[in-house]
Amino acid sequence: MKGIGNNWHLIYQLVVKELKVRYMRSSLGFLWVFISPFLIVMVFYLVFFRILRINIEGYPFFLYLMTGIFPWNFFQCSLISSTTSLWDNRNLIKEAKLPQYVVPLSVIVNNLIIFLPSLFITIILSSILLNGLSLSILFLPFILFIHFLIALGLSLILSLLYLKYRDTKYILEVLLSFIFYLTPVFYPLSLVKDAFPLWLFRIYYLNPFVGVLNLYRYTLLKGFYISITRADKLFSLVIIPLIFTISILFLGIYYYRKNKDKINDYLAY
């Protein structure tokens, strides 16, 4: 991935294009970046809080949902749209000499930009409802970066796999909904700990997104640290996602390097 500096302009142009194309023609325009996540949160709120009556100790359920659903949405949308990105942009790749990785990368940057406004609103809401923020908010860029790298590493692998096996997309969709339920997006971690025997909980805990989501909450929700340490140590909350990130990123780069010369061959037929 040498020379990424020379490609910033290209990535910038691709991201700007995508954002403009996505929001320019709708009458509410960029407001959709705020509206659509809130509509999702409303649905979850109705189903899980009002109907299924899941309760989170110490936090407004609405806020708890927001801190889970927004990051998850970013992740899910990034993966789904980046998986097909090389194929969708085949005209571009076949007709111009550009480093192909910029295509999935720009998709993820694009999703990140859409994610940021809702994150910003979450921060404001959290500081109002919980009477201020904890100092751990300073870790937010770090966790965002980790999350971004996971998405990037996975998207490199998935978008290449998709060129070879069109089944990738369907498998990914199933897997994502599976992981969604295995990640504490709308339920507290303590609930799982109470229900599972310890060995099963350890396995459950290996899911890096458990750590990622809880780190988001740790930075966004004041006093969350105390409730999280009831379930497990903060250390394992950090170390599992970190190891996962590094390994997935290197795997992604390795896989991309190995296959980048063949991308056009796969697109050729």
Partner 1 sequence: MITSLTDKLNGKVVREKTIELLGIGKKFPLRNKLIKPEIGEDFWALKDISLDIYKGELIGIIGRNGAGKTTLLNIITGIISPTEGKVVTRGRVLGLFNLGVGFQDELSGRENIFLNGAILGASKEELERKLRSIIDFSELGDFIDMPLGTYSQGMRLRLGFAIIANLNFDILVMDEVLAVGDALFQSKCFERLMDFRRQGKTLVITTQSMELIERLCERVVLLDHGNIIFEGNPLEAISQYRRILNTEAFFVGPTKKKLIEQTKKWADDISSWGNKLGTKEVVIDSVEFINKLGYKTKCINTGEPLKVRVNFTVRNDVKEPHFGVAIFRSDGVYCYGPNTQFDGYHIPKLPQGKGFFVLNFPRVLLACGEYRVSIAIWDKNETLAFDYHNGYYQLEVKGSLNHNNELLNIPYYIKNRNYLFFQKKVKNLPTKMMLEKIKDNLVNDRVGFKSLELVNRVGEKKEVFFTNEYVKCIIEFNNFNKEDNLYLWLGIYRDDGIYCQGINMPSLERNSYTIVFPRLPLLPGRYEISLGIWDSLKKEFIMFLKSIYPFRMVFEHDDHGTVYLEHSWNFKIR
Our finding on whether 24 is near partner 1 (CB under 8 A) is: yes
Asked if 3 interacts with partner 1 (CB under 8 A), we say no
Can you tell me which of 2, 53, 57, 96 binds partner 1, judged by CB under 8 A? 96
Query: Is 27 an interacting residue with respect to partner 1 (CB under 8 A)?
Result: no
Q: Is residue 54 within the footprint of partner 1 (CB under 8 A)?
A: no
Q: At closest approach, how far in Å is the CB of 116 from partner 1? A: 22
Place of tokens 């069109």: 166
Piece in contact with partner 1 (CB under 8 A), picked from 12-20, 34-42, 68-76, 214-222: 12-20
Give the interface segment with partner 1, choosing from 4-12, 33-41, 75-83, 142-150 (CB under 8 A).
4-12
Helix (H, G, I), strand (E, B) or coil at 177: helix
Using CA atoms, how far apart are residues 139 and 127, in angstroms rounded to an integer? Answer: 16
For residue 43, the minimal CB distance to partner 1 (Å) is 30
Asked if 77 touches partner 1 (CB under 8 A), the answer is no
Q: How many CA atoms lie within 13 A of 18 on its CB side?
A: 23
By CB under 8 A, residue 97 contacts partner 1: yes
Give the number of C-alpha atoms closer than 13 A to the C-alpha of residue 210, restricted to the C-beta side.
25
- Amino acid identity of residue 208, one-letter, is P
26 interacts with partner 1 by CB under 8 A: no
Q: Do residues 93 and 209 touch, judged by C-beta distance below 8 A?
A: no
Distance, in Å, from the CA atom of 67 to the CA atom of 51, rounded to the nearest integer, reads: 20
Q: Is 261 in the site for partner 1 (CB under 8 A)?
A: yes
How far apart (Å, rounded) are the C-alpha atoms in residues 61 and 213? 15
Which of 6, 27, 131, 235 binds partner 1 (CB under 8 A)? It is: 6
Q: Name the CA radius of gyration of the chain, rounded.
A: 19
Geometric angle at alpha carbon 82, from 76 and 88, rounded to 5° = 135
Please state the closest distance from residue 162 (CB atom) to partner 1, in A. Answer: 13
- Classify 183 as helix, strand or coil: coil
CB-nearer residue toward partner 1: 105 or 185: 105
By the criterion CB under 8 A, which residues form the site for partner 1? 6, 9-10, 12-14, 16-17, 20-21, 24-25, 91-98, 164-165, 261, 264-265, 268-269
